[in-house]
Structure formats: C-alpha cells, structure tokens
Copies of this chain bind each other. A is one copy, B any other.
C-alpha cells in the first residue's frame, strides 16, 4: 500500500483553441509534473474542470493518465465525483482497476442531500475498493456542510478512508478538530490553492493539492518546510501570496489563469477554458503579466 504525501497538484484539462480536449498537452503536463518532482498527480479535481467533460473524455483522460503515470513512475489520485452512489461505485471500481493509487471523493451536493445520505455514499465507495481514499471537504464550492464528527465515524467504519482534503474557511480549526477527534489517525491535505499552506502544515497536514501551473513554487514551499527551513518556506509562500490573492478570487478565475501560466511556460498549447469560464479584461491582463514576470524570474520558468 502506497503512501501519499507532499504536493499532489490537480491536473488541468488542456483544450485546443476549438474546445476539444488536447490529449497531447495532457500527456506533456503530466510528464512535467512528475519529472518536476510532484509526489502524485490528481485527476478530476474541481480545478481540472471535471464538470465540463463528457464521460467519454473522462475515460480517455483516465487511460492516458494511468499510462503516463506508469511510464514515468508517478503516483496517481483520481477523484470520484459522480452524484449517484451506484454510478460513483462503478467509477471507483473502474479507477481502481485502471491503476489509480488512491481515490479522491467529492460527495454529491446537487439538491443538498442530508449528511446521512453523504455518509452512506462515501461508505459505499470505500467498501467497493481496496485502495486508499481521500475525502474532499469543500463546502464553499458545494454548499454542503459536514461536521468533523461525521468524518471521524466514517474513518472508523472505513479504514481505507484515511486522507482528508480540507478546504472550508477557515480550515485550520477544522483540521485541528479532526486530528484531535481521531487521535491523529488521519492524514490531512491542504486545498484552497494553498492560501494557508504554512498554517495547514504547522497544524499537521502532510501535503497539499494545489493547481498544477505553479507546482514548483508549491514544491519549493513544501520542501523547505519539511526540511526544517520554515522561514524559507514562509518567504516563498509570501512571494506567491500576492499573485494567488489576485488570480484566485473565484474558482473559474484560477482555472483561467492556471491555463495561461501553463501555456506561457510552454507546458500546454492553448489556454482555452470551456465555458462558462472567467473573462479577463485589459487591466487584469496587465496585472497578471506583472505577477507572471516576477514569478518566472524567481523560478527560472522558460
């Protein structure tokens, strides 16, 4: 059984300028992330625009990602996002058979199912697979609240649900509560673009699942932190923060700017986002360029 930790970015879904999935860029992106030192890559996170893909596209993405990860010895997390438990269970099994190392699990939220239904949903998926599972708690995006006690009970009944990606606001006290409730028997990942990455790791998180375009910035922060250079980690985080503060004012905005960074870095071919997306404007284009210029110098992006 593998051990997930560190920086496990969400794989963006590159499109061509006409809006088709650009699988070549997907492959290039995954290679970049693995070779660049990411501890794992994550398919179908919200930042990966999973909700804008057809099932067929998702299937091709799975096959491609599994292959590229195998060829490059990268670990792979795939997120189960289907609403119906029956469909989600099938997807979970398919991801496991296809070769995922770990599942992420976003509980359903349309029509706001009660917590009891969410519990049964997550349990059914955990029981259907043998691989490890990371439950995602993203109430800002889903509108659905889950108390840490629910996850505590879930972990007791489902030993393979061992990871949690916590991105409520503020996440800090929730994480500490969950760690205390479970006597430390959970492994926490930071979400929310790593805005509070230092705090989250100080509180015991073992990694983060940010967007992929600045994976090396997050690796720099993470590696400094785990190597005991907390001051340097904070310095790098503070360097990132102003950009993050502007390009992550809402979810479609960060998806838009992640794509732009990936294109500028030469990792994907087009920065097309499927619609509804975020429309930048003249001012923001200029501001973005300033930020990009600073970061690309510091991190020697091409």
Copies of this protein chain in the complex = 4
Task: Name the residue of chain B whose CB is nearest to the CB of A252.
Answer: B111
Residues of B within 8 A of A145 (CB): 145
Known: A51-B84, A172-B283, A250-B111. A276 touches B241 (CB 8 A): no
Tell me if A's interface is mostly helix, strand, loop or mixed.
helix
From A32-40, A67-75, A126-134, A194-202, the one touching the partner chain is A194-202
Q: How large is the interface on A (under 10, 10 to 19, 20 to 34, 35 or more residues)?
A: 35 or more
Binds B, one of A22-30, A53-61, A154-162, A216-224: A53-61
A121 to B275, CA, bound (A): 8
Are A281 and B173 in contact (CB-based, < 8 A)?
Answer: yes
Partner-B contacts on A (CB < 8 A): 19, 46, 49, 51-56, 82-87, 90, 108, 110-111, 113-115, 117-118, 120-121, 124, 141, 143, 145, 147, 169-173, 176, 195-196, 199, 202-203, 234, 237-238, 241-242, 245-246, 249-253, 274-277, 279, 281, 283-284, 287
Known A85-B274, A85-B275; 11 more pairs at CB < 8 Å: A19-B86, A51-B83, A54-B87, A84-B276, A113-B276, A170-B253, A196-B245, A196-B246, A202-B287, A238-B238, A241-B242
